[in-house]
Amino acid sequence: MALKIDVDTYQGLKLGVPRLVRMLEREGAAASFFVSMGPDNSGKAIRRVFRNRGFAGKMFRTNAVSMYGLRTVLSGTILPARPIALGLPEVVREVARAGFEVGVHGYDHVRWQDRIDDLGEAGIRAELEDAFEVYKAIFHEPAKSFAAPGWRTNQIALKLLDAMGLGYHSDTRGRFPFRCAIDGVTLATLEIPTTLPTLDEVMGRADLPDAAAILSFYLDQFKADALNVHTIHAETEGMSQLESFTALVRALKERGAGFVRLDQVAARLKVPELPICSVICDYLPGRAGWISAQGAEVLTPCGSGRESPR
């Protein structure tokens, strides 16, 4: 089980991350944290309520105000946006000191998630440069991994990331690690997709009425003979759902599951031998709006496969 922990908000970094670090240390479980480097504009996500019925339903089902706190829900709207990683650099460093991986989860999470296809190459490049600059300011060394906010990426973002020579990225939802095919070119950077549904996608399902039902759902989803990548959120599993998430970690340990960092997964894989797949736009039950997903495997005839120069 590779645990990918997304940190989308100031509140999540300040309160959720230290709790998750303590719990995972206690349980002896490794994990990778992906922190949004720029301003906490999560309140702007409320604007989606007026545009997107699915999002309104999700806000209602998951009770966003009690889950995220009013300060977060209003952040970047009537209250100023607080810087996330740069506002709490000691918390970010502490995660790495405790032995966890820290990667980049974009700069402005809301801007990336809502507007990636409007930003253009200059806009996406600016988001990436700002995010990686903040990481470097905190750690005095370049980041080696990236996870796209909201699992949204496109050809421009994937090409820009490929030129950065990262160890891997985790931008999509999918089945197994792969190499991305863009315009007939195979990118060099490994993609490790999230393979399991997220908690906010399954909460509120009529057939999963309580924490016990959700726990057994996840245990059923877990594949003992494959890599499982589970994305959790510091704002959710690190706060109101910490108890349920701790129960899941313990139940997985009892079943013999081991926990690995995503960079450890990447180090073990022979990237040139991995399948080449397209990256497609898809929709998931319980999630409003599109996400990027692992598409079908791309088969290239001998002699026509072009590797991106790196």
Q: Report d(CA 271, CA 248) in Å as an integer.
A: 31
The size of the interface with Zn ion (CB under 5 A), counted in residues, is 3
Is residue 101 a contact residue for Zn ion (CB under 5 A)? no
Is residue 6 a contact residue for Zn ion (CB under 5 A)? yes
Residue (76 or 186) nearer to Zn ion, CB: 76
Residue (110 or 266) nearer to Zn ion, CB: 110
The full DSSP string for 59-97 is: HHHHTHHHHH-HHHHHBTTTBPPPBSTTTSHHHHHHHHH
Smallest distance, Å, CB 259 to Zn ion?
Answer: 20
C-beta of residue 286 within 8 angstroms of C-beta of residue 187: no
Residue (8 or 191) nearer to Zn ion, CB: 8
What mask, x for binding Zn ion by CB under 5 A, covers residues 112 to 131? --------------------
Q: Report d(CA 29, CA 1) in Å as an integer.
A: 10
Structure token pair of residue 71: 């300060």
Smallest distance, Å, CB 109 to Zn ion?
Answer: 5
Is residue 8 a contact residue for Zn ion (CB under 5 A)? yes
Smallest distance, Å, CB 24 to Zn ion?
Answer: 19
Smallest distance, Å, CB 110 to Zn ion?
Answer: 10
Tell me which residue has tokens 């200059």: 122
Residue (240 or 308) nearer to Zn ion, CB: 240
The full DSSP string for 139-182 is: HSS---EE--GGG---HHHHHHHHTTT-SEE---B-SS-EEEEE
Smallest distance, Å, CB 268 to Zn ion?
Answer: 26
Which residues, 53 to 92, sit near Zn ion by CB under 5 A? none
Residue (69 or 149) nearer to Zn ion, CB: 149
Smallest distance, Å, CB 148 to Zn ion?
Answer: 9
Which residues, 131 to 160, sit near Zn ion by CB under 5 A? 149
How far, in Å, are 62, 64, 81, 97, 300 from residue 78 at the CA level? 22, 17, 9, 36, 52
DSSP classification of residue 9: S
Residue (112 or 168) nearer to Zn ion, CB: 112
Helix locations, the chain, DSSP H: 10-11, 17-27, 47-51, 53-62, 64-68, 70-74, 89-97, 109-139, 155-162, 199-202, 211-221, 242-254, 262-268
Which residues, 155 to 184, sit near Zn ion by CB under 5 A? none
Applying CB under 5 A, which part among 7-15, 17-25, 152-160, 289-297 lies near Zn ion?
A: 7-15
Smallest distance, Å, CB 146 to Zn ion?
Answer: 12
Residue 164: what are its φ and ψ, rounded to 5°? -85, -10
Query: Which residues of this chain interact with Zn ion, rule CB under 5 A?
Result: 6, 8, 149
